[in-house]
Chain A
Amino acid sequence: GENVEQHPSTLSVQEGDSAVIKCTYSDSASNYFPWYKQELGKRPQLIIDIRSNVGEKKDQRIAVTLNKTAKHFSLHITETQPEDSAVYFCAASYNNNDMRFGAGTRLTVKP
């Protein structure tokens, strides 16, 4: 089955700096890669996703890149703000089935 590794486990940045979170996956058949933000005690919320037919996707301050050959994908947050502080999870699946999550990255943005 799919196995997703995520790094780093914790990340602390100054407000305004960029944050990068990296994930690798094991199953070359995986074709859908969402990123979720989870605040303490809340539901995971989808912030961006990418499908295997594209290499990069951007939505305002958030971007995701995908390298299918190397089987890794990354989340980039620019101009970070204190409200970006949360746990971020990457995930991978084939056609949205059996979605496997990474272990999470706790991002802290210091004002």
Chain B
Amino acid sequence: EPEVTQTPSHQVTQMGQEVILRCVPISNHLYFYWYRQILGQKVEFLVSFYNNEISEKSEIFDDQFSVERPDGSNFTLKIRSTKLEDSAMYFCASSALGGNQPQHFGDGTRLSIL
């Protein structure tokens, strides 16, 4: 069964540094998402992306965050100047169509800000 893949599995970064988290969605999927989960807490929506532009973003997704689909397979989340509170698990997800199709999650990237 095809899977969403994320790299790296764990990223350790100094506060104030830029970090890029990478995702390869399932190949025939058209909608892409990023979520954040702080340890022991709920999954939080960050952003959805379709047709090379952001569809929706949450209040968490401020100017420090950006997303990009640099080629036909990758989908990236960039945090421009990391803060301690950015430490979390970041999940990428994709779905085949927009309206109410299941979102498939990757294994996540654990981001640790020192």
Residue numbers of A with Cβ under 8 A of B are 1, 31-32, 34, 36, 42-46, 49, 51, 89, 91, 95-104
Contact = CB atoms under 8 A, between A and B. Distances in A.
A48 to B, nearest CB: 10
Nearest to B58: A98
A96 B42 contact: no
Q: Which 5 A-B pairs have the closest CB atoms?
A: A32-B100, A43-B105, A101-B43, A98-B56, A97-B56
Contact of A99 (B99, B103, B108): B103
A95 B97 CA distance: 10
Contacts, number: 58
B104 A89 contact: no
A66 B58 CA distance: 25
B99 A34 contact: no
A36 B95 CA distance: 15
Interface of B: 31, 33, 41-45, 48, 55-56, 58, 91, 95, 98-108
Nearest to A98: B56
Contacts of B43: 36, 44, 89, 91, 101
A96 B48 CA distance: 9
A110 to B, nearest CB: 22
A96 B41 CA distance: 21
A36 B35 CA distance: 14
A96 B47 CA distance: 11
Given A42-B107, A98-B56, A104 B42 contact: yes
